[in-house]
Amino acid sequence: MKGIKSHAILLFSVLAGIFALSIYGLLSGDIPTEFNDVYHALLDYSDQDINQVIIREIRLPRIMMAIISGAALSVAGMLMQTLFQNPLAGPYVLGINSGSSLMVALGVLSGVGFFNSELGLMGSALLGAFVFGLFILFTASFLRNQIGLLLFGVMLGSFVSAIITILEAGSQAEALKSFALWSMGSLNNVTIEQIPIILAVFIVTCFLTFFIVKPLNILILGEEECRLMGYDIKKIRILIVFITALFTGLITAFCGPIAFVGLAVPNLTRMLFKTQNHMLLLIANLLFGSFFLLTCDITIQLFSDVLLIPINALTSLIGAPFVIYILIRKLR
C-alpha cells in the first residue's frame, strides 16, 4: 500500500510539473507576455491582440506538440521493449522512424501533390512506420539475439538514409530545404489548426493501448506464456506494432524524427517505479514522456538567443549516453 501511495505522489508531481512548465512555456519567449495574455489567448481569444496571437498561434501548438510527442514516443518505446523483451528497443533505434522518414522523403522530395498534403504526409508516415514495424517483427522471429536486433535496426536506418541521400541529390533546392528542416526535428511546424486531428489520433491510440495492458503484462514472460494464457499471440503482436506505428508515424510526420525519447523514458520509468505492471508503466510513460520533451523544448527556448538547437539533437545528446549506460549495465 505504501508503494501505491508513493507512486501516486510521484505521478501527481510530474503532472503538476507538466502543468507548470506549460504555463511557463506559454509565458516566455522573445516577446514578453503576461499571465493575463495567456488567459485570454486560451479562453477569450481575440486575434487583434498581437500577444494573444503569438501565444495561441506559435507557443500553444509547440507546447502541445511537446506534450503529445513525448507521451506518444515513450509509450511506443515501452511497447517495443515489451514486445521484444529488450530494454534497448525503441521506435528510433529499431528503425521504425526510418519507415516514416523514407515515406516523408518520397513525398516531400518527389513533390507529388497528394503526398505533399497534410493527410497524405500523415498517412504515408503511418504506413511507412507500420510496414517497417512488421518487417522488424518478421526479422525478430528468427533473430533472437537482443543486440542483433538492434544492429538490424541500425542497418535499416543506414539503408534508408542512403536512399534518402540519393533522393536529396536529385531534388529541387526548395524541396531539399524543407526536407532538411523536417529531418532535424522540430515542434514548431505544427499549426493550431492541425492540433485537433493530431490530438484525436493520439487519444484514440492511447485508448487502444489501455486495452492491451493485460496481454502486455503476460508478454514479459515470453510469447509462449501469452499463448498458454489463451491469447492469440499473432494478433497481439500485430496490434502492438500497429499501435507503435500510429504513435511513431503521427509524431514523425508532423515533427520529424525525434530520437531516443522512446528508448530512455520507458527505462527510466521502469527503474523509478520498479514494476512490470503495464497499467502503471503506461500512465508513467505518458506523463514522464511529456515532462521530458517539454523540458527539452523549454531548454531550447532558453538558449534560442544564443544558439538554435534542433530538438532531435538535444534528445540525442541526452539519450545516447543513457543508452550507453544501459548497455554497459547489461553487457558487463
Partner 1 sequence: MITVKDIVIGFDNDLFAIDKVDFQKGKVHVLTGRNGIGKSAFLRTLTGLLKPIKGEIILDNKPLDEYSNKEVSNKISFVHSIQNGVSFLSVDAYLMLGRSNFTNMFGNASDIDLRAIENAKSVFGIGHLSHKYTNQLSSGELQLCAIAKAYVQETDYILLDEPTAHLDYQNKKRVYELLKQISIDQNKGIIISTHDLDLAFKFPFEFYLIKESDLKLHKIDGFNDIEREFNT
> Which span sits near partner 1 by CB under 8 A: 39-47, 64-72, 175-183, 226-234?
226-234
Of 51, 171, 217, 299, the residue at the interface with partner 1 (CB under 8 A) is: 217
CA geometry: angle 21, 321, 307, nearest 5 deg: 55
Rounded to the nearest whole angstrom, what is the least distance from the CB of residue 86 to partner 1 in the complex?
12
Contact (Cβ atoms closer than 8 angstroms) between residue 312 and residue 257: yes
CA distance 235 to 128: 20
Of 34, 118, 193, 232, the residue at the interface with partner 1 (CB under 8 A) is: 232
Q: Toward partner 1, which CB reaches closer, 170 or 230?
A: 230
Q: Toward partner 1, which CB reaches closer, 161 or 277?
A: 277
Q: Toward partner 1, which CB reaches closer, 105 or 243?
A: 243
CB contact set of 233 (below 8 Å; sequence gap of 6+):
223, 226, 227
> Which span sits near partner 1 by CB under 8 A: 183-191, 209-217, 288-296, 312-320?
209-217
CA distances from 32 to 26, 66, 67 (A): 10, 21, 23
Rounded to the nearest whole angstrom, what is the least distance from the CB of residue 275 to partner 1 in the complex?
6
Cα within 13 Å of Cα(296), Cβ side: 31
Of 19, 111, 172, 222, the residue at the interface with partner 1 (CB under 8 A) is: 222
Contact (Cβ atoms closer than 8 angstroms) between residue 133 and residue 241: yes
Q: Per CB under 8 A, does 8 bind partner 1? A: no
> Which span sits near partner 1 by CB under 8 A: 38-46, 210-218, 242-250, 256-264?
210-218
CB contact set of 76 (below 8 Å; sequence gap of 6+):
90, 91, 96, 243, 244, 247, 248, 262
Q: Toward partner 1, which CB reaches closer, 3 or 111?
A: 3
Q: Toward partner 1, which CB reaches closer, 203 or 221?
A: 221
CA distances from 287 to 2, 26, 70, 240 (A): 21, 19, 8, 20
Q: Toward partner 1, which CB reaches closer, 62 or 278?
A: 278
Taken in order 23, 25, 26, 28, the sign of the CA dihedral is positive
Q: Per CB under 8 A, does 220 bind partner 1? A: yes
Q: Which region, left, alpha or beta, applies to residue 252 given φ > 0 means left and ψ of -120 to 50 means alpha?
A: alpha
Grid cell in block for residue 28: 516566455
- Burial class from Cβ neighbours inside 10 Å (0-12, 13-18, 19+) for residue 189 reads middle
Element (H, E) at 210: helix 195-210
Of 218, 251, 283, 300, the residue at the interface with partner 1 (CB under 8 A) is: 218
Rounded to the nearest whole angstrom, what is the least distance from the CB of residue 266 to partner 1 in the complex?
12
Taken in order 197, 202, 208, 211, the sign of the CA dihedral is negative
Task: Give 47's DSSP letter.
Answer: T
Rounded to the nearest whole angstrom, what is the least distance from the CB of residue 329 to partner 1 in the complex?
11
Q: Per CB under 8 A, does 40 bind partner 1? A: no
Of 12, 138, 211, 303, the residue at the interface with partner 1 (CB under 8 A) is: 211
Of 42, 50, 112, 228, the residue at the interface with partner 1 (CB under 8 A) is: 228
Residues 268-287 that bind partner 1 (CB under 8 A): 270, 273-277, 279
Residues lying near partner 1 in the complex (CB under 8 A) are found at 210-211, 213-214, 217-218, 220-222, 224-225, 227-232, 270, 273-277, 279
